[in-house]
């Protein structure tokens, strides 16, 4: 659980750098619809997360991700898989 919180916190930290300051981000935030990121911005954001967690996040998996929570769950699984 602690690790999952840490993953989520790091996702939020990276996201916060890409959007207008002051927009609140939580686990339920929908990354594209609530934050107004276009498709390329989302892929660039995912690339940042790949570096941070030293994993590969295939683009086809991103298609299933809507919220910050979905993404942290996916990353958690990929980190486990890679170790």
Partner 1 sequence: MSIFAKFEDIRQTLAGLSESGQNPLDVRFDEIRSPVEGVVDGRRVLLFGTSNYLGLTFDADCVEAGVHMLRQSGTGTTGSRIANGTYAGHASLEKQLAQFYNKRSAMVFSTGYQANLGLISALAGREDHLFIDADSHASIYDACRLSSAEIIRFRHNDADDLARRIARLKGKPGCRIIVTEGIYSMLGDTAPLREIAAVKRETNSYLIVDEAHSMGVLGARGRGLCEAADVEADVDFVVGTFSKSLGAMGGFAISDLEGFDLLRVAARPYMFTASLPPSIIATVSAALMRISQDAALGMRVRANGLRLYTGLAQAGFSLGPQPNPVVAVKMPDRETAVEFWKQLLAEGVYLNLALPPATPGSLALLRSSVNALHTDEQIDCAIAALCRVGLRLGILEKPAARITAPQAEKIALPAE
Binding site for partner 1 (CB under 8 A): 38-41, 43-44, 47, 50, 54-56, 58-60, 82
DSSP 4-64: HHHHHHHHHHHHHHHS-TT----TT-BHHHHHT--HHHHHHHHHHHHHHHT----HHHHTT
Q: Report, in Å, the least distance between residue 50 CB and partner 1.
A: 8
Helix-helix angle 2-18:68-82, to 10 degrees: 120
Give least dist CB 54 to partner 1, A: 7
Nearest CB to partner 1, comparing residues 50 and 76: 50
Please report how close the Cβ of residue 27 comes to partner 1 at its closest, in angstroms: 25
């Amino acid at each position: 659980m602690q690790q999952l919180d840490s993953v989520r916190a790091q996702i939020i930290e990276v996201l916060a750098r890409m959007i207008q300051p002051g927009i609140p981000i939580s686990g339920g935030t929908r990354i594209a619809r609530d934050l107004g990121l276009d498709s390329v911005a989302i892929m660039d954001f995912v690339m940042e997360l790949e570096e941070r967690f030293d994993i590969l996040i295939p683009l086809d998996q991103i298609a299933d991700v809507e919220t910050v929570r979905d993404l942290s769950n996916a990353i958690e699984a990929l980190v486990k898989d890679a170790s």
